[in-house]
């Protein structure tokens, strides 16, 4: 039995687990290529249900909903004989792909009670665009902190969790509370786009448009345009430029990286 970066079992061989872990890290950091990594894991281990459901989540984030649901259904069909952790993982992420947010969140909570370090399962509940962030609840920021705070001991200094929790604390309690965790997240994984996004929020909230523009402008060039947060980080940079009075630069960013079709 192989294990992922969080010490959780993965029913596959060495070649597949390496590609699978790469896919998870790319998905958790909002970097391009997660789908391709999961595809390599599937090529090495055609019955690896975790790779199919990871691929499904990656496809969903790219807006390819029908393909995502097909991949999730394949994962469900393959996972029957796997470990309880793998079965719960597949069902939780498949519920996310199904699009029933309340049921998905309930399934995630149930799974995390037994496997708190299953970051791929936790991830869809986090962030301003996650299941809690888009729930319409007026207390959504506080609800996300309430979900993440009890898990902090399980994750320690994990770069993904530090960024996710730091962002949640920034939204719920202010930038001064969340900033230290986000800084630690970026120190441990500088190319984590979710942490970069959270840091842009910190700089915006503290009114630091000069440092904000410098940070995002320096961070973006090595981030693929096809990656999940390229447009959104470009939007943050445009906001900083507007605050600096650089209207032409903000317009160029809109035309080149933000407008529909760009």
Chain-centre distance for alpha carbon 12: 24
Total domain count for the chain?
Answer: 1
Which residue range(s) make up the domain with 76?
1-125
**Triad 190, 51, 78: Cα angle to 5°:** 160
191 part of a folded domain? no
| pLDDT digit string, tens, across residues 101-119 | 999 999 999 999 999 999 9
Kindly report the number of other CB atoms within 10 A of residue 45's CB atom: 21
pLDDT confidence of residue 150: 98
Q: How far is CA 25 from CA 103, 105, 202, in A?
A: 25, 22, 23
Q: What are the average pLDDT values for consecutive 10-residue runs of the chain, which has 262 residues?
A: 93 94 98 97 97 98 96 96 95 96 96 98 96 94 98 98 98 97 98 98 97 98 96 98 97 97 89
118 part of a folded domain? yes
187 part of a folded domain? no
8 part of a folded domain? yes
Q: How far is CA 180 from CA 41, 184, 195, 204, in A?
A: 35, 6, 12, 15
pLDDT confidence of residue 223: 98
| pLDDT digit string, tens, across residues 44-83 | 999 999 999 999 999 999 999 999 999 999 999 999 989 9
pLDDT confidence of residue 88: 97
pTM: 0.96
pLDDT confidence of residue 212: 98
Q: List the CATH number of the domain containing 70.
A: 1.25.40.10
pLDDT confidence of residue 74: 97
In angstroms, the CA 32 to CA 244 distance is: 31
pLDDT confidence of residue 81: 87
41 part of a folded domain? yes
Residue 219, classed as helix, strand or coil, is helix
In angstroms, the CA 251 to CA 16 distance is: 45
50 part of a folded domain? yes
């Amino acid at each position: 039995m192989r294990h992922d970066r969080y010490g959780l079992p993965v029913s596959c061989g060495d070649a597949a687990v390496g590609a699978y872990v790469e896919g998870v890290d790319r998905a958790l950091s909002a970097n391009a290529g997660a789908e391709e990594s999961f595809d390599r894991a599937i090529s090495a281990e055609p019955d690896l249900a975790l790779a199919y459901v990871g691929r499904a989540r990656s496809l969903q984030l790219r807006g390819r909903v029908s393909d995502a649901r097909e991949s999730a259904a394949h994962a469900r069909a393959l996972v029957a004989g796997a470990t309880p952790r793998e079965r719960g993982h597949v069902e939780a992420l498949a519920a996310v792909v199904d699009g029933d947010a309340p049921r998905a969140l309930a399934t995630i909570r149930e799974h995390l009670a037994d496997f708190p370090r299953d970051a791929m399962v936790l991830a869809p509940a986090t962030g301003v665009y996650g299941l809690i962030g888009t729930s319409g609840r007026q207390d959504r920021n506080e609800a996300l902190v309430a979900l993440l705070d009890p898990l902090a001991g399980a994750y320690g200094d994990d770069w993904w969790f530090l960024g996710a929790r730091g962002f949640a604390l920034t939204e719920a309690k202010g930038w001064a509370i969340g900033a230290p965790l986000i800084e630690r997240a970026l120190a441990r994984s500088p190319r984590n786009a979710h942490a970069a996004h959270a840091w842009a929020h910190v700089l915006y909230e503290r009114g630091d448009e000069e440092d904000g523009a410098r940070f995002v402008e320096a961070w973006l060039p090595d981030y693929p345009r096809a990656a999940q947060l390229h447009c959104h980080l470009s939007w943050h940079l445009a906001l900083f430029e507007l605050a600096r009075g650089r209207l032409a630069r903000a317009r160029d960013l809109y035309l080149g990286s933000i407008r529909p079709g760009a």
